[in-house]
Amino acid sequence: MKLRLYQIDAFASRVFAGNPAAVVPLDAWIDDATLQGIATENNLAETAFLVGGQGEYEIRWMTPAAEVDLCGHATLASAWVVFNVLEPNRTEVAFRSKSGPLGVVAEGDRLALDFPSRPPRPSDAHAESLGEALGCAPALALSSRDLMAVYEREEDVRSLVPDMRKVAAFDVTGVMATAPGNECDFVSRFFAPAFGIPEDPVTGSAHCTLVPYWAKRLGKTTLRARQISPRGGELFCELRGDRVAIAGRAVKYLQGTIEVPG
């Protein structure tokens, strides 16, 4: 069976930056083992699979190790494929996912995700263990789907050298570290070794939690963020009630055909 595959650098304005995601459009769903096999073979942080058309698609995301319930950069990449390959000139797309309905709208050269807001709550019990796992004690420990370590300075986040074994031991998807930014509203890093992603280059879904936190702390609803991984990425965010808009650019790195059993 031959399938189309596109690799898109999301939250980037040039190749070799942002977060690379594979996008595989399907005519109909195939078995989960094959989907996971493709994602493992791709060995990217996420592979997105799409089924649908006419502006409405089901979407699923898989890391090299497991399926996840929400992924921002691979949704951005999927929207790029819809707008530029599957349905050229379309500027809006609706995705049905395990996290509910997700929308993407083209806004100039940016694509804006419409994602759920997931505000964090205090998690003092994790403060000591987060400090041990990340190598530096945070000023504040919070949790939502993921754990969140808040630091006082951007330099604190940049200098973290996590113990991936300890990070993987937390019963969460991943651990994010964040601080006020020197040249933006806030910065972050994201680690998910239990899902086969030691450090994720740019994590859209983490901003479902980061944006409501920083919006409340800074007293503003429109925020500019940077994920300061080695590849790095820029995100333009807005808190809209119980939803979060997360916008960024995307560029195509490759397209091709893969062959799988079936």
Query: Which positions are catalytic?
Result: 46
Q: Which of 247, 226, 154 is nearest to 184 (CA)?
A: 226
Q: What is the distance between the terminal CA atoms of the chain, rounded to a whole angstrom?
A: 6
Question: Do the strands 2-10 and 19-26 form a parallel or antiparallel pair, or are they unpaired?
Answer: antiparallel
Chain-centroid distance of CA 55 in Å reads 22
**DSSP codes of every residue in 176-221:** EEEEE-SSSSEEEEEEEGGGTEEEES--TTTHHHHHHHHHHHHT-S
Q: Alpha carbon of 105 to those of 54, 79, 112: distances in Å?
A: 14, 8, 5
Q: Which of 82, 18, 8 is nearest to 50 (CA)?
A: 82
DSSP 84: I
Cα–Cα dist 165/70, whole Å: 23
| Residue 137: exposure state from Cβ atoms within 10 A (0-12, 13-18, ≥19) | middle
**DSSP codes of every residue in 12-67:** -SSTTSSEEEEEEEESS---HHHHHHHHHHHTSSEEEEEEEETTEEEEEEE-SS-E
Cα–Cα dist 121/117, whole Å: 13
